Amino acid sequence: MNTECANLLSFLSGELGEKEKKAFAEHLIQCSECTREYEQMTEAWDSLKWDFEEKEPSSSLKSEVMNFVFETDDEVPVRREKKWSGFFFKQFTPVTSGLLLAVLVLVFVLLYSNIQLKKELAAINLPMEVKTSLSLQPANKTGVNMKTDGAAYILQQGEERRLIVQIQNLPSLQDSEVYQVWLLKDGKRRNAGTFKPDEAGTGSLTYKLSIDDKFNQIGITKEPDSNSTKPRGEKIVGSS
């Protein structure tokens, strides 16, 4: 949804300033979706005054309203709902009631969409911070993997955290083999996912961290497949 589209409800209710109102009017000419919704809402609202049937308030209306206001809290909620629905349909014709209900639903949907859009835009505008960086060194500095190294970063945007792992000079894999990332804390390991390197031996992994994902070390092993619940293969690199 275009951010300008979110101002449709404010435009209809007259909440926009002169500058914003003029900008939205220009947008309305170019946006077919807003034009369609604007026409539908305007048509529904205008039809209410033609379908409204004036009635003389009944002598019991005041007492019914006051009795509802001063009802005790232990009255069954369903009974209250029936009273209000009955009162509502007494005051409006079925057509008017249907149109008014449709307008209320549409207003609710537009408000919800506007709130969700604002949340998404706010998340996009939040700065991305590098909270932690870890150097990954080869587990065996005298073997064939001595050149394998890399780094891991914890990035935070708002309340969301992600782990980024980048490794280079990884040995090639065979068949179903994968590299698996483990998060370690107090001797306990948590699986953070698997990856395969490209032809140049460069591999990377992005893992969304939950609140429970707390660790102080990272290890990467070479596994026979992606079904390992604990390390079965050789450790290739890790943090110190």
- Name the residue among 22, 44, 29, 31 with its Cα closest to residue 3: 31
What pLDDT score does 67 carry? Answer: 64
- Considering Cα of 87, then 90, then 95, then 99, what sign does the dihedral take? negative
Cα dihedral 187, 188, 191, 192 in deg (nearest 10): -70
CA-to-CA distance for 182 and 230, rounded, in angstroms?
9
What pLDDT score does 181 carry? Answer: 95
CA-to-CA distance for 6 and 108, rounded, in angstroms?
13
| Partners of 204 in beta bridges | 166
CA-to-CA distance for 66 and 56, rounded, in angstroms?
18
What pLDDT score does 92 carry? Answer: 55
What pLDDT score does 79 carry? Answer: 55
What pLDDT score does 131 carry? Answer: 85
Calculate helix-pair angle for 32-51, 18-30, nearest 10 degrees: 110
DSSP-assigned letter for residue 26: H
Helix (H) or strand (E) segment spanning residue 120: helix 94-125
With beta carbons less than 8 A apart as the criterion, state whether 239 and 136 touch: yes
| Mean pLDDT, contiguous 10-residue spans, the chain (240 residues) | 67 74 77 76 62 58 60 52 56 62 75 70 67 88 76 86 91 92 90 92 91 87 92 89
The residue type at 159: E
Calculate helix-pair angle for 77-91, 61-69, nearest 10 degrees: 150
CA-to-CA distance for 110 and 25, rounded, in angstroms?
18
